[in-house]
Structure 1
């Protein structure tokens, strides 16, 4: 695999189509940079086995990947359905609490939502599976909600349910979430996704459950999927380590026509804050069943990159799709082609630079100065020894032409950096290295391409100490 094929990072959700070791190995070879484990499905034992498998493949191939654990959050979901149910438009479908006996024949959808019948009235619309299925409430009989299907489709177990106007509980992680965080910590997951974040307090509550000492410090990612989160985005960005534009629920909780503009705004504000940002949901959904994406989907992926996304994430496409590897290969080609246009236009870099021009922090000054030097065509690579990844991310948000090799002795920081655009993380025993040793490490890792002769290296007053980066130098490699 060519580590420098595309700067945009790819996240693949694992599921029945990609749980096998052979498919995981092929996905990694195709260029996946992060693997998402959705705790809404499966059990801890299954997920633990997958983490072991991914770590082993990563170590064998030398390809760093982020293990991403996605918490269910207080999301409303359907219960277990023995096999997928095909629903025709106009069909009578009844929702009932999981565990309640069916009163007769017909289509029944079990759910895990407390008080669903009490919160609905005739005429209410129930959205299922990111809004792909819609049901109008016709009548309510005790705990059974009788509906009419407004669209045809297939319903599967554990699909999310949305009721526009419903406010999910905020400020308190569910007990299932707390168990999920404990699981993630036990297995040293690199990224933990907090679902249905409402404000900064939700991130602080999650962080309080992480280890308060030691070298292990996972990335806390805030999923932006509620109006409340949009309204408190700056506060959330201050407490989160990364964010996700979770368009599935966001496109139901808010008017769908607002999503394109919100996506651009969220990405830009995350770039300014130097926080990695992932765009997710229905990126190439047609590839669940088809060999090629639609033209609109190709354009959607490209526009997310042009907006400034660090990574794009696939859900059903790689979890249950007929060819997960093909999804990744096509996404990489789209990314590479789009990045050429991004470098020429300089759009993202110019917008971020304009936003941080008045900042006077040393980190911002160093990142800006580094990118100024990287604009010189004789410079081939940026090298950033880093304890936490902060310097590399601040440079990456300005989308320089050359790649950034982030050298770190922290395995978790290395894997998290795999999600930052244009960054190749390289693990070393110690970052307290001389310029000659840095260049040798890069060369031994096969990261000096033919013709590479000049590097920009950032450094700090205290080698290996976080937060001390305050200088840069240019060296020639012979």
Structure 2
């Protein structure tokens, strides 16, 4: 049987992925989710790509999902006049209000409320932490005076991080609201919110989605602020997935703390039964080189061994020279490590007090039983996708085959570890349904004669209720559907 990877790959769209041929080659090599980065997105381009991806899905039987990633309150400095270099000990003014060209004495800041929020002694980090300033004073209206702690070239439009400042700006900016409404119109499968600090940030986005969409679009909280790490329990209760965005996180907190935080966040997501994506600089050198560094290979492998649902590529596929080859490399790394016995999953049975206790319990036991009897697959019929989330979180050794008549979740579930979804809309007797499902699994190469299969269903099937039945079958013959 062909070895299939279970950890998913998220690839960012950009100029390097603008043709159908490249997108098709990336899908062939193992992309599962395409990310739209709304920090650099042109609506017309985005619409064209989405149409191409959906055509490829329909034509070649892929279920590639589309993730709309909102920029969030990204703070930046303005444009500089010529080359500006600041040195340690220099003083500089960050000014808001009307835009102007910056010099080494005075620079424009896009964040209007900065003078009201800044306090003496707080740090200002620029250009991913390459430049460091300390606030000396603020006039509380339009100017903040700062001293250079670590100098260097001060470049136009570089990002600003304020690790100690309590920012009063909302997580959903006007640009985000506009982008989110466009993403809803394009029926994206997932939406990610940047710089989440509190559960309330997610509630605002959820409200916006329910106002403009008849369907639920699951939300991924991007963890890149120290406050988010502190508030993780509340955040997890209000999101459908996490993204460990290590770029800004490594600027806002000491970089050496990021590896353990990454592990904690993966663990927290698995306990909450929600998917988690590891992002930023995974295969960075492959933007311009055909060979990743050993450290990058290790990074991807370790993220997989931590138990991440997905690993993400940014510049490597959006602007890189080798968008197809980087996917091939990543797929190879994933396949070589993901069956390792070193990968541990927190195996705590579900709590009795939840209203979905029976479904949760069946999913938990299905995953354990599949491991015990060495089942090749767990199959489940679902209308909401709930059982897919539950089974995936237990990380069984078997494949997770999901059959659904709900076309919306076919692509949505493509982000989840180990899950392969199929469209199935014949809800007949249980025996007949399970025979059909087995035949599809055989046809697609997931099962062969002599294999064990764990099947989950909601009885009676026609009612499409909660899963309440677990059945084990040995495949005595591989029937193929007519």
TM-score under structure 1 normalisation? 0.85
Instruction: Supply the distance in 2 between the matched residues of 1:263 and 1:77 (Cα, whole angstroms).
Output: 26
- Alpha carbon RMSD of aligned pairs, Å? 3.6
Shift of 1:399: 1.1
Give the gaps of 5 or more residues in structure 1.
Answer: none
Instruction: Supply the distance in 2 between the matched residues of 1:61 and 1:260 (Cα, whole angstroms).
Output: 38
Instruction: Supply the distance in 1 between the matched residues of 2:154 and 2:18 (Cα, whole angstroms).
Output: 22
Q: Conserved in 1, the CA contact under 8 Å of 2:413 and 2:419?
A: yes
1:395 equivalent to 2:395? Answer no
Q: Report SS of the residue matched to 2:303.
A: helix
Larger radius of gyration: 2
Relative to 1, partners in 2 of residues 1:429 and 1:356: Cα closer, same or farther, differing over 3 Å? closer
Task: Tell me what 2:177 maps to.
Answer: 178
Task: Tell me what 1:112 maps to.
Answer: 110
Paired residues for 1:217-296 under 5 Å: 217-296=216-295
Which deviates further from its counterpart, 24-33 or 72-81?
A: 72-81
Select the residue among 446, 466, 469 that pairs with 2:467: 469
1:134 equivalent to 2:128? Answer no
Instruction: Supply the distance in 2 between the matched residues of 1:198 and 1:269 (Cα, whole angstroms).
Output: 16
1:340 equivalent to 2:334? Answer no
Q: Conserved in 2, the CA contact under 8 Å of 1:170 and 1:202?
A: no
Instruction: Supply the distance in 1 between the matched residues of 2:368 and 2:422 (Cα, whole angstroms).
Output: 24
Instruction: Supply the distance in 1 between the matched residues of 2:2 and 2:353 (Cα, whole angstroms).
Output: 33
Q: Conserved in 2, the CA contact under 8 Å of 1:75 and 1:168?
A: no
Paired residues for 1:51-450 under 5 Å: 51-78=50-77, 100-102=99-101, 112-114=110-112, 126-131=124-129, 133-136=130-133, 150=150, 159-169=158-168, 173-211=172-210, 216-341=215-340, 344-345=341-342, 347-348=344-345, 352-354=346-348, 356=350, 361-377=357-373, 379-430=375-426, 434-444=433-443, 446-450=444-448
Give the gaps of 5 or more residues in structure 2.
Answer: 478-482
Shift of 1:182: 1.0
Which deviates further from its counterpart, 458-467 or 244-253?
A: 458-467
Instruction: Supply the distance in 1 between the matched residues of 2:168 and 2:62 (Cα, whole angstroms).
Output: 39
Relative to 1, partners in 2 of residues 1:172 and 1:94: Cα closer, same or farther, differing over 3 Å? closer
Which deviates further from its counterpart, 165-174 or 68-77?
A: 165-174
Relative to 1, partners in 2 of residues 1:219 and 1:60: Cα closer, same or farther, differing over 3 Å? same
Shift of 1:404: 0.5
Shift of 1:116: 5.2
Q: Conserved in 2, the CA contact under 8 Å of 1:122 and 1:139?
A: yes
Which deviates further from its counterpart, 161-170 or 406-415?
A: 161-170
Q: Conserved in 2, the CA contact under 8 Å of 1:356 and 1:364?
A: yes
Instruction: Supply the distance in 2 between the matched residues of 1:48 and 1:3 (Cα, whole angstroms).
Output: 34
Shift of 1:453: 3.2
Instruction: Supply the distance in 2 between the matched residues of 1:417 and 1:294 (Cα, whole angstroms).
Output: 31
Instruction: Supply the distance in 2 between the matched residues of 1:292 and 1:257 (Cα, whole angstroms).
Output: 26
